[in-house]
Chains A and B, each alone.
Chain A
Amino acid sequence: MGIVVFDGLAFGALLFLISVGLSVTMGLMNFVNLAHGAFAMAGGYAASVVMNAYGFGFPAALLAGFVAGAVSGAAVEVLFVRRLYRSHPLEQVLFTIGLVFASIATATYFFGPTMQPFSIPPYLEGNFAFLGAELSRYRLFLIVVGVIVVAALVLGLDRTRFGAMIRAAVDNQRVARGCGINVDRLFLATFTLGCGLAGFGGALSLGMLTLNPIFPLKYMVYFLMVVCVGGAGTITGPFLAALIVGIGDVAGKYYVPQTGGFLIYLLMLALLLARPNGLVVKKGAR
């Protein structure tokens, strides 16, 4: 029982870390971003190249993951996304799904279709005994990082000037502009942050998931589930949702493997029916 909850929490924390950037771009900026996984993949590949080809350590790889996600996100924002903020959501969907396929082809071209090798650094490898259960160090690490990121983002958005500016710009762009906020630059920064978080999550996922070019497509359902169930545009919502999905997935596979991975989808349906706007509703949402 304990081990199931722990493994579920860790899986949930990882889902949160990969998905939270999407809550920022899709929720705060109202941009339907299905290409989120592409930025996470960019982070994953950057981390794996930094470790395998250049021999840097794991912390450097995580940083590289964040930077790669952020840089590719910024480039895409300036070149394309900027033109689409006021477009119909369907156009945003078409554009971003196109981006997903383009990113798969690009990754296949440069890195080949097979998986990237990765080994967890020795200090995070292995298990430790706790209250009679064998817990994995890496999973504990994921939970800790997840909690830190949640705290940092909540404080950042609620308590800093940057957070206040984002909230103002999202709620009413014209008034925000009138107050002297450079909305274009602000949106660029926000999109970059969201994609950077995706890259960071992608790098962290190397220890638990496998990285190959279909990454953005393979995990898309998980990102969307976490953000939609949790409530787009909030930070605590996706965190809560990710933990529920993580524990639900692990418990379902452990106790009722006959249902396969189906249980979490039932859970998602139930949660969405009960709370159509997400577990935590964005303040001032229409």
Chain B
Amino acid sequence: MTRMTKLMAATAALLTLGAGAAMADTVKVGLVGEMSGPFAVFGEQFKGGVEAFQAINGTEAGGKTVEVIIKDVGGPNPDVAKRLAQELVVRDKVDILTGFGFTPNAAAVAPIATEAKVPMVIMNAAAGGLTGASDYMVRVSFSLPTVVPPMAQWLVDNGYEKAYVIVGDYRPGHDTEAAFLEAFPKAGGEVVGNVRTPLMTVDFAPYMQKIKDAKPDAIFAFVNAGDVMAGLMKAYREKGLEEAGIKLVGTGDITFEPSMPAVGDAADGVVTSYPYSMEHPSELNKEFVKAFREAAGSDAMPSIMAVGGYDAMAVIYAALEKTGGDTDGTALVDAMKGMEWESPRGPISIDPETRDIVQNIYLRKVENVGDHYGNVEFETFEPAK
């Protein structure tokens, strides 16, 4: 036994002891999120989503009170995420781990979930195949490669046959690029060029100039949501690509709701594909947006991350109901497998094999919806199986 596994075993033993001794009326959920620093918007979204869920559904499930303990991981810091998860499991004796904006953080915590037999519900981390890292991992966000094919199909169907690909130069960007390079020719289009941009790209004008000179019909873009996508939009407008007949499309990251007020009409008409839009026309979504704004501020804009927070709580509550309040990790994960429910994004379920989410992908167009610009859904792609 290495020191690490001993530690893990001790952790697991402690947890069992704790659970046995306490068997209390409280279920503790430990949330590891990006509460401060450059990615504080992630944490704000998670927290708002969790609070919105609890405002709508109360704080009790399976006869127990659900208490959420939030820890700040500050950004993509796998070591910190691991330490926080350990503290949550050992010291705070949480029954369930959740949160995780970044794939590396989730991957670092996966062994802890496995050893301590604590379910781990992923609110955002989007790399393909992530849930293979632990049998206790369940994901309620999405994986980027699944978002791409509907967009590629739409481009070809609407006569945009030559596309230029621009992605952020990091793992999710590479995944998205590969998905598009595969899906677009398959749909009948031609990729005329592609470029990877540094994560902290400040000025997109040179890239936009280069794309303009290549004269494609459309740009397919994926850059990390937040400030970088605004830079992309600014440069797209400034360089007059729309006037040159080059359509901007991409994943929903480039029309990330919380950043839309800052981008304003520059995003008008941009078409993207994504699992959630704040404008999704359902009663539940209206209720969700209202509750989110009561929690996070009257002008806050919920995104897929906030819905991830909501659905993580939804699957935890439903699992607790199913086990009758039993917090045994294996029983909870088994309860989550195959679960179906209605989310603010639409109907979703958990694949019993992969423990990954199964959901619709929507095509959306940015339009003025009254007091702001929003992603208005116009076509639904149901999951393959």
Interface residues of chain A, those whose CB is within 8 Å of chain B, are 3-4, 7, 11, 104-105, 108, 112-119, 127, 134, 136, 138, 208-210, 212-214, 217-219, 222, 249-254, 257-258, 260-262
Chain B neighbourhood of A117, CB < 8 A: 261-264
Per the bound structure, the CA–CA distance linking A116 and B227 in Å amounts to: 10
Q: Give min CB distance, B256 to chain A, whole Å.
A: 9
Contact with B201, one of A7, A115, A219, A261 (Cβ below 8 angstroms): A261
Q: Does B240 contact A (CB under 8 A)?
A: yes
Question: In the bound complex, do residue B196 and residue A218 qualify as a contact, i.e. CB atoms below 8 Å apart?
Answer: no
Q: B40, B200, B231, B264 — which one has the most chain A CB atoms within 10 A of its CB?
A: B40
Contacts A218-B200, A219-B202, A260-B198 given; 12 further ones with Cβ under 8 A?
A7-B203, A7-B209, A104-B37, A115-B262, A117-B263, A127-B238, A209-B203, A217-B38, A249-B203, A253-B206, A257-B207, A260-B197
Contact with B227, one of A136, A212, A252, A262 (Cβ below 8 angstroms): A212
Chain A neighbourhood of B264, CB < 8 A: 117, 119
Which residue on A lies nearest to B262, using beta carbons?
Answer: A115
**Please, how many residues of chain B have a CB less than 8 angstroms from a CB on the other chain?**
37
Chain B 200-218, CB-CB to A under 8 Å as 1, else 0, gives: 1111011101100000000
Q: Give min CB distance, A266 to chain B, whole Å.
A: 14
Per CB-CB distance, the 10 closest pairs between chain A and chain B, nearest first, are A113-B40, A115-B262, A253-B206, A261-B198, A210-B227, A214-B38, A113-B41, A254-B206, A117-B262, A257-B195
Q: Does B258 contact A (CB under 8 A)?
A: yes
Chain A neighbourhood of B37, CB < 8 A: 104, 214
Chain B 231-244, CB-CB to A under 8 Å as 1, else 0, gives: 10010001110000
Task: Sample 28 A-B pairs with CB under 8 A, ordered by A number.
Answer: A7-B205, A108-B36, A108-B40, A114-B258, A116-B262, A127-B240, A136-B238, A208-B234, A209-B203, A210-B230, A212-B227, A214-B37, A218-B38, A249-B206, A250-B203, A250-B205, A250-B206, A252-B206, A254-B210, A257-B195, A257-B197, A257-B207, A257-B210, A260-B169, A260-B196, A260-B197, A261-B197, A262-B198
Instruction: With A127-B240, A208-B234, A260-B196 as known contacts, state yes or no: A114 contacts B41, CB within 8 Å.
Output: yes
Per the bound structure, the CA–CA distance linking A117 and B267 in Å amounts to: 13
Chain A neighbourhood of B201, CB < 8 A: 261
Chain B 321-357, CB-CB to A under 8 Å as 1, else 0, gives: 0000000000000000000000000000000000000
Instruction: With A210-B262, A213-B40, A260-B196 as known contacts, state yes or no: A115 contacts B230, CB within 8 Å.
Output: yes
Per the bound structure, the CA–CA distance linking A127 and B262 in Å amounts to: 22
Per the bound structure, the CA–CA distance linking A134 and B367 in Å amounts to: 28
Chain A neighbourhood of B196, CB < 8 A: 257-258, 260
Chain B neighbourhood of A249, CB < 8 A: 203, 206
Q: Does B44 contact A (CB under 8 A)?
A: yes
Q: Does B124 contact A (CB under 8 A)?
A: no
Question: In the bound complex, do residue A7 and residue B206 qualify as a contact, i.e. CB atoms below 8 Å apart?
Answer: yes
Chain A neighbourhood of B207, CB < 8 A: 253-254, 257
Per the bound structure, the CA–CA distance linking A119 and B237 in Å amounts to: 12
Chain B neighbourhood of A260, CB < 8 A: 169, 196-198
Question: In the bound complex, do residue A115 and residue B210 qualify as a contact, i.e. CB atoms below 8 Å apart?
Answer: no
Per the bound structure, the CA–CA distance linking A71 and B360 in Å amounts to: 52
Q: Does B272 contact A (CB under 8 A)?
A: no
Per the bound structure, the CA–CA distance linking A210 and B228 in Å amounts to: 8
Task: List CB contacts (< 8 Å) of B247-293 with chain A.
Answer: 258-259, 261-264
Per the bound structure, the CA–CA distance linking A210 and B205 in Å amounts to: 14
Chain A neighbourhood of B202, CB < 8 A: 209, 218-219, 222
Q: A208, A250, A257 — which one has the most chain B CB atoms within 10 A of its CB?
A: A257
Chain B neighbourhood of A119, CB < 8 A: 264
Chain A neighbourhood of B41, CB < 8 A: 112-114
Which residue on B lies nearest to A105, using beta carbons?
Answer: B36
Q: Give min CB distance, B124 to chain A, whole Å.
A: 15
Per the bound structure, the CA–CA distance linking A40 and B238 in Å amounts to: 24
Chain A neighbourhood of B240, CB < 8 A: 127, 134
Per the bound structure, the CA–CA distance linking A105 and B40 in Å amounts to: 10
Per the bound structure, the CA–CA distance linking A252 and B198 in Å amounts to: 12
Chain A neighbourhood of B258, CB < 8 A: 114
Chain B neighbourhood of A252, CB < 8 A: 206
Task: List CB contacts (< 8 Å) of B59-76 with chain A.
Answer: none
Q: Give min CB distance, B186 to chain A, whole Å.
A: 25
Q: Give min CB distance, B341 to chain A, whole Å.
A: 29
Per the bound structure, the CA–CA distance linking A11 and B205 in Å amounts to: 10
Q: Give min CB distance, B38 to chain A, whole Å.
A: 4
Per the bound structure, the CA–CA distance linking A136 and B240 in Å amounts to: 10
Question: In the bound complex, do residue B259 and residue A114 qualify as a contact, i.e. CB atoms below 8 Å apart?
Answer: yes
Question: In the bound complex, do residue B198 and residue A115 qualify as a contact, i.e. CB atoms below 8 Å apart?
Answer: no
Q: A114, A118, A210, A258 — which one has the most chain B CB atoms within 10 A of its CB?
A: A114
Per the bound structure, the CA–CA distance linking A134 and B239 in Å amounts to: 8
Chain A neighbourhood of B210, CB < 8 A: 253-254, 257
Per the bound structure, the CA–CA distance linking A262 and B226 in Å amounts to: 22
Per the bound structure, the CA–CA distance linking A217 and B227 in Å amounts to: 14
Which residue on B lies nearest to A222, using beta carbons?
Answer: B202
Chain B neighbourhood of A222, CB < 8 A: 202
